[in-house]
DNA sequence: GTAGGTGCAAAATCTTTGCATGCCG
DNA sequence: CGGCATGCAAAGATTTTGCACCTAC
């Protein structure tokens, strides 16, 4: 997370502690979609004393300051939240519910949506999030095979595969 | 939740137990945005033995069957999830972070977004969710007053109001 | 009758809080 | 050096699981 971020924190009278610098750098570099636990694991490699609680407090702070966005990626992988540094450009997250791959979509419908909502409701948008779940082109094929297999198995219960032990 | 829903459950070989009928009816009638705990409270009024676990299990089932959608309303009010019966028409949820009011937006940018994503990525969409947080037109005014007050208080710390005990 | 569903208790997961101590500015 | 920040332990909130009993079909 570059100097601009550190700058905006300091401007708010927020202290740049050693722990925060570590977390800020990780969130920025790691690219994308870290959850609190992963961030904690990574941070511990740099400072084994850094506490999980500090991770949560820092994420909450960054969220409040509008420096990171919170996602849940359709709860693929559980109930954690994922974080990414706020980008100038709004985008949707498209997650494959079979392989977990996340694509990002930037496109004018998102801006149009935003403008219409501001216009229609006189609403002041602070946070926006679009998340879409389904099957990517690759997994659609595999998925239909899986479904077919399951159907066959159900139709001929005698041939049902023994559960793995 | 009308006969159509009960029908689609039965078609899947899913039993319509007394508990499920209660929950289905509540989700359908109550209109919108119930979280598991509220649903549980309402259900208990109809059957005091109905267990919280059954609520969770039923919601999970309905989600899997695509009969309800899960929201988080930008975590206004905490980390619970909210549920609403799946509508034919996709819509975004717009939540005021000050008063908690939820508006729904139906509009062509949402359909366009969907079509573009299907086209650009060859993605098969199963779930979609757009949630937007900010201030409604009413709260924008109140909010700016509050911010001003806070600024004044910060500038003249001697006049700071004593914390409530 | 039987597979699937429920209740209960207990656990798992994720996140927050209270408080004494530490350290940034 | 003052007050915000951290670590630690403990609690809180939400959701899941194991298992014996129950019931819809």
pLDDT mean by block of 10 residues, chain A; 165 residues: 71 90 93 92 97 98 94 94 93 96 96 97 97 97 82 55 36
What is the mean pLDDT of the segment spanning B134-153?
Answer: 85
In the predicted model, is pLDDT for residue B146 greater than 90?
Answer: no
How is residue B43 written in tokens?
A: 């259900």
Cα-Cα end-to-end distance for chain B: 47
Per 3-state DSSP, chain B is made up of helix, strand and coil in percentages (nearest 5) of 50, 20, 30
Which has more confidence, A12 or B15?
A: B15
d(CA B73, CA B133): 8
Q: Is A2 within 8 Å of chain B by CB?
A: no
Find, in chain B, the residue whose alpha carbon is nearest to that of A122. Answer: B137
d(CA A99, CA A141): 12
Give the model's confidence band at B4: pLDDT under 50 very low, under 70 low, under 90 confident, else very high.
confident
B34 forms bridges with which residues in the sheet?
B83
Cβ-contact A112, A106 below 8 angstroms: no
What is the mean pLDDT of the segment spanning B52-57?
Answer: 98
pLDDT value, residue A107: 95
Nearest neighbour of B121 by CB, restricted to A75, A125, A136 = A136
pLDDT value, residue A164: 33
Nucleotide nearest to A15 (CA to C1'): C24
Q: Mutate which of B64, B134, B141 to disrupt the A interface (most A C-beta within 10 Å)?
A: B134
d(CA B69, CA B84): 6
d(CA A35, CA A102): 14
Task: Dihedral sign for Cα B124, B126, B132, B133, please.
Answer: negative
**Whose CA is closest to A28, among A11, A9, A15?**
A9
pLDDT digits (tens, 9 = 90+) for B104-118: 999 999 999 999 999
Residue A129 main-chain phi, psi, to 5 deg: -150, 125
In the predicted model, is pLDDT for residue B165 greater than 60?
Answer: no
Nearest neighbour of B127 by CB, restricted to A92, A134, A140 = A134
Q: Is there a contact between A113 and B126 if contact means CB atoms under 8 Å apart? A: no
Give the model's confidence band at B13: pLDDT under 50 very low, under 70 low, under 90 confident, else very high.
confident
pLDDT digits (tens, 9 = 90+) for B29-49: 987 799 999 999 999 999 999
pLDDT value, residue B145: 86
Nearest-CA distance B65 → chain A (Å):
14
Residues in B closer than 8 angstroms to A121, CB to CB, are 94, 103, 105, 136-137
Size of interface A-B (CB pairs under 8 A): 122
d(CA B66, CA A143): 17
**Whose CA is closest to B119, among A148, A149, A105?**
A105
How is residue B137 written in tokens?
A: 């037109």
pTM: 0.89
What is the mean pLDDT of the segment spanning B17-22?
Answer: 96
Task: Dihedral sign for Cα B47, B48, B51, B56, please.
Answer: positive
Q: What angle, rounded to 10 degrees, do the helices at A36-46 and A18-29 form?
A: 120
pLDDT value, residue A30: 86
Residues in B closer than 8 angstroms to A105, CB to CB, are 113, 116-117, 120-121
Backbone Cα Rg of chain A: 21
**Whose CA is closest to A72, among A140, A137, A132, A138?**
A132
């Amino acid at each position: 997370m570059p100097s601009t971020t550190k700058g905006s924190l300091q401007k708010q009278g927020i202290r740049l502690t050693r722990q925060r610098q570590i977390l800020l750098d990780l969130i920025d570099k790691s690219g994308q979609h870290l959850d609190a636990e992963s961030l904690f694991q990574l941070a511990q490699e740099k400072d084994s004393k850094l506490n999980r609680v500090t991770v949560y407090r820092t994420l909450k702070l960054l969220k409040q300051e509008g420096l990171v966005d919170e996602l849940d990626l359709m709860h693929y992988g559980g109930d954690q939240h994922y974080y990414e540094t706020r980008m100038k450009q709004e985008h949707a997250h498209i997650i494959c519910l079979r392989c977990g791959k996340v694509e990002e979509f930037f496109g004018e419908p998102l801006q149009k949506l935003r403008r219409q909502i501001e216009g229609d409701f006189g609403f002041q948008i602070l946070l926006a999030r679009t998340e879409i779940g389904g099957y990517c082109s690759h997994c659609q094929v595999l998925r239909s095979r899986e479904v077919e297999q399951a159907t066959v198995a159900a139709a001929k219960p005698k041939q049902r595969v023994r559960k793995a032990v």
